[in-house]
């Protein structure tokens, strides 16, 4: 429990300033910690994809300045699409909550199952390794903004596969801004056509580097990220813990009521770095 002292200062418009201080004690109940699973397997195009990482933390009270790490877990990911399934072990780096695998083999279209054992609870999820189209080109335009400050508009293009419904997770990292910006796209109105992602900013200048990212994702992950971005009221990406009402695709097989936060997803990722002209 934590006590919060709320100080209210009243300013009286007069020849004197009178301050009044009230103390309000508020008891806050802390819920039992939940496991938070960051299990996003990404295969950078033109790389081997052998190194992958899964991060485990737990929730904490609202006013805590630190995020507790979940140590001592047993973490594996199994390619269950093979005639003889292959299991990859993710070994914790000391006691950091970071579980690493150095021999992972990504295969597009195959199904993989995540299995985590932590404090007597068993968590599982299965997802498909999704393909991602190449970023074909990047185009830039400049338009006048407020107070004569230039506004840069940048589009990066990719080709949608018209034979299926597709969903995309996009990201932009501007070195002048602390956090990357994220969004979700679908090909509902652009199936089979060339598509583009759009970035607009007046906080960049000639010579700045902007990194663009593109991932093909499942419909379930698209729905999850759409809700998460809408719930947080920002497109600055997911925070350390998801909102309490938002559940991912990971199931607690030991106790279904004690569900974890997070999502298990696997996809290629294409990234391009662009220099502002």
Beta strands in the chain (DSSP E): 35-44, 52-58, 74-79, 86-92, 98-101, 111-118, 121-130, 135-144, 150-159, 167-174, 181-186, 194-201, 209-217, 251-252, 261-275
CB-based contact 111:81 (threshold 8 Å): yes
| 42-58 burial: b if 16+ Cβ within 10 Å, else e | bbeeeeebeebbbbbbb
Give the model's pLDDT for residue 275: 95
> For residue 223, what is the enclosing H or E element?
helix 219-232
Give the model's pLDDT for residue 149: 81
pTM of the complete model: 0.83
Beta strands in 187-277 (DSSP E): 194-201, 209-217, 251-252, 261-275
> For residue 221, what is the enclosing H or E element?
helix 219-232
Give the model's pLDDT for residue 32: 85
For the domain bounded by 35-131+239-267, which CATH number is listed?
A: 2.60.40
Give the model's pLDDT for residue 31: 76
Per-residue pLDDT of the chain (277 residues), as tens digits, is 334 333 333 333 333 444 445 555 455 566 789 999 999 999 999 999 999 999 999 998 877 889 999 999 999 999 999 999 999 999 999 999 999 999 999 999 999 999 999 999 999 999 999 999 999 999 999 988 777 788 999 999 999 999 999 999 999 999 888 889 999 999 999 999 999 998 999 888 889 999 999 999 999 999 999 999 988 755 444 444 444 468 999 999 999 999 999 999 999 999 999 999 9
Q: Encoding tokens for residue 106? A: 């990504």
Give the model's pLDDT for residue 26: 57
């Amino acid at each position: 429990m934590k006590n919060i002292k709320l100080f209210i200062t009243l300013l009286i418009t007069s020849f004197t300033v009178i301050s009044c201080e009230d103390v309000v004690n508020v008891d806050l109940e802390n819920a039992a910690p939940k496991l938070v699973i960051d299990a996003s397997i990404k295969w950078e195009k033109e790389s081997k994809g052998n190194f992958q990482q899964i991060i485990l933390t737990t929730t904490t009270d609202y006013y805590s300045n630190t995020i507790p790490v979940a140590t001592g877990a047993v973490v594996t990911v199994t390619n269950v699409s093979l005639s003889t399934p292959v299991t990859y072990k993710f070994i914790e780096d000391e006691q950091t909550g970071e579980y690493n695998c150095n021999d992972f083999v990504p295969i597009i279209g195959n199904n993989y199952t995540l299995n985590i054992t932590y404090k007597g609870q068993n968590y599982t999820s299965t997802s498909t390794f999704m393909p991602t189209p190449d970023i074909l080109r990047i185009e830039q335009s400049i338009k006048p903004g407020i107070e004569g400050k230039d506004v840069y508009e940048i589009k990066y293009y990719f080709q949608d596969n018209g034979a299926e419904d597709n969903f995309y997770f996009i990201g932009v990292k501007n070195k002048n801004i602390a956090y990357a910006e994220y969004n979700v796209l679908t090909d509902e109105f652009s199936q089979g056509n060339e598509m583009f992602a759009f970035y607009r900013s007046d906080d960049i200048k000639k010579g700045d580097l902007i990194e663009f990212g593109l991932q093909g994702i499942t419909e379930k992950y698209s729905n999850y990220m759409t809700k998460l971005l809408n719930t947080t009221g920002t497109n600055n990406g997911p925070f350390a813990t998801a909102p309490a009402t938002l559940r991912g695709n990971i199931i607690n097989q030991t106790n279904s009521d004690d569900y974890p936060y997070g999502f298990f997803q696997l996809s290629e990722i294409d990234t391009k770095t662009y220099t502002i002209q």
